[in-house]
Amino acid sequence: MAAATPLLKDELDIVIPTIRNLDFLEMWRPFFQPYHLIIVQDGDPSKIIEVPEGFDYELYNRNDINRILGPKASCISFKDSACRCFGYMVSKKKYIYTIDDDCFVAKDPSGKDINALEQHIKNLLCPSTPHFFNTLYDPYRDGADFVRGYPFSMREGAPTAVSHGLWLNIPDYDAPTQLVKPQERNTRYVDAVMTIPKGTLFPMCGMNLAFDRDLIGPAMYFGLMGDGQPIGRYDDMWAGWCTKVICDHLGLGIKTGLPYIWHSKASNPFVNLKKEYNGIFWQEEIIPFFQAATLSKECTTVQQCYLELSKQVKEKLSTIDPYFTKLGDAMVTWIEAWDELNPTGDNLAKLSIADGPAKTKK
C-alpha cells in the first residue's frame, strides 16, 4: 500500500528561527520531513547550524538577509526571533507553518503523537465563522454542525487566514506571571478549534502558528524587536493585532485551539521582564488603539491595509514613544521589501537569481 501524500506537500514551507543546532527536528521527522524548511539563523552569522540529515531546507543568516534586502534589511529584527518573518517573505509557497525550536511533539489524551502540521492544514483549508458564535465550536468538524439559531446565510463561513495552535506543558505566560507561578504547567487538553469573532483582538503567539501567505502574508510582520530596540517578546503580539484588524476588514477568519505542541522549556523570566517591560506599559494604549482602528473601504489588499495601518500607528502611537515612528516606517519598508521579493505580473522579471539563500540542501 502506498503511503498517503502529506497534505499540501508542495504548497507549504516550515519557517524556523534559531540560534542553535536543530536537533529538535529529529522528533518531528515523521511529520516534517516531506516539507521544505526555511531556517532563519539569528545572531552570529559565522556560527554553523547543524540540521539533521534528510531534511530539505534553505538557511538564511544575517549576512544573507542584508545581501538580499540591502538597506531594507533594517526592517528585519536581529537577536530576536522576530527575524522569522524574513522567512515568510522569501517563501514562494501559499502556506507557512512556523514553530519554535524548543517545541516538541505533544500527545493527545489517548497517548497518540499529535501531527500538529496536519491539524493546522485542516484548520486553514476549512472556513472560519467570525460573524456569529457557534456554541459547539468548529461547525465544520466531523460530528459537529451549526446549532439551532445559527443564521443559515452565515453558514458558508469566511476563508481562514490564520490557524493559531496552543501549547501543553509550559504555557505562554508573560514575565510577571512566570515569576509568580514558576511551577504552573498547562496539562489541560481542550479538544476544540474555534474562530475568534470579528471585532475581538487576541494575543497571537508565534510558537505554533500557520497562515495562508496569499491571504494575509504581508500583515505577518513581526516588528522591530531585540538588538537596538526598546522592546522584545512583542513581535508575535504586534503581528497578531495588525493581522486581526486586517482580517476583520477583509472578511477573513482566524482560528485558535488545536493543535497542541509540547513546549519544553520556560525562558528566563528575568531576561523576559527586561524585554517586556516597555510592552507591558505600552500595550495598555496599543490595544485600545487597535480595538478602535478602522480601515477605509478603499483598502482592498493586505498591502493597502497594512500601509494605512502604518500611518495610523505613526499618527496615534508615536505619542507613547518615538519608537512607534520608527516602527511605522519599518512597516512601510517591510511592505516594499515584500513586494520586491514577491512581484506580481510584470514585476516578475525583476527577481534576480542572486536573491537565493546561502545554503540549500535537497
Give whichever of 147 and 351 is closer to a second copy, judged by the CB atom.
147
* 138, 144, 147, 153: CA torsion to nearest 10: 70
| C-alpha radius of gyration, the chain, whole number | 20
- Interaction between residue 199 and a second copy (CB under 8 A): yes
- Interaction between residue 148 and a second copy (CB under 8 A): yes
Of the ranges 62-70, 181-189, 296-304, 313-321, which one interacts with a second copy (CB under 8 A)? 181-189
- Interaction between residue 191 and a second copy (CB under 8 A): yes
Residues 6+ apart with CB under 8 A from 59: 39, 40, 41, 49, 51, 357, 358, 359, 360
- Interaction between residue 234 and a second copy (CB under 8 A): yes
Report how far residue 11's alpha carbon sits from residue 35's, in angstroms, rounded to the nearest whole number: 9
Using DSSP bridges, classify how beta strands 95-99 and 208-212 pair: parallel, antiparallel or unpaired.
Answer: antiparallel
Give whichever of 35 and 137 is closer to a second copy, judged by the CB atom.
137
Report how far residue 215's alpha carbon sits from residue 81's, in angstroms, rounded to the nearest whole number: 23
Q: Residues 6, 11, 31, 132: which binds a second copy (CB under 8 A)?
A: 132
- Interaction between residue 268 and a second copy (CB under 8 A): no
Distance of CA 36 to the CA centre of its chain: 17
Residues of this chain, 87-116, that bind a second copy according to CB under 8 A: 109
Q: Residues 27, 105, 125, 144: which binds a second copy (CB under 8 A)?
A: 144
- Interaction between residue 70 and a second copy (CB under 8 A): no
Indicate the helix (H) or strand (E) that contains 210: strand 208-212
Of the ranges 29-37, 85-93, 119-127, 198-206, which one interacts with a second copy (CB under 8 A)? 198-206
Dig out the grid coordinates for 43 from the structure: 545572531
- Interaction between residue 183 and a second copy (CB under 8 A): no
Residues of this chain, 200-219, that bind a second copy according to CB under 8 A: 200-205
Please give the C-alpha separations between residue 82 and each of 22, 194, 200, in angstroms, as whole numbers: 18, 26, 24
How many residues lie near a second copy (CB under 8 A)? 57
Give whichever of 19 and 136 is closer to a second copy, judged by the CB atom.
136
Other C-beta atoms lying within 10 Å of the C-beta of residue 40: 26
Tell me if residue 76 falls in helix, strand or coil.
coil
- Interaction between residue 153 and a second copy (CB under 8 A): yes
Contact residues for a second copy, defined by CB under 8 A: 109, 132-137, 143-153, 164, 166, 171-174, 176-177, 181, 184-192, 196-205, 233-234, 236-237, 240, 256, 276, 280, 283-284, 287
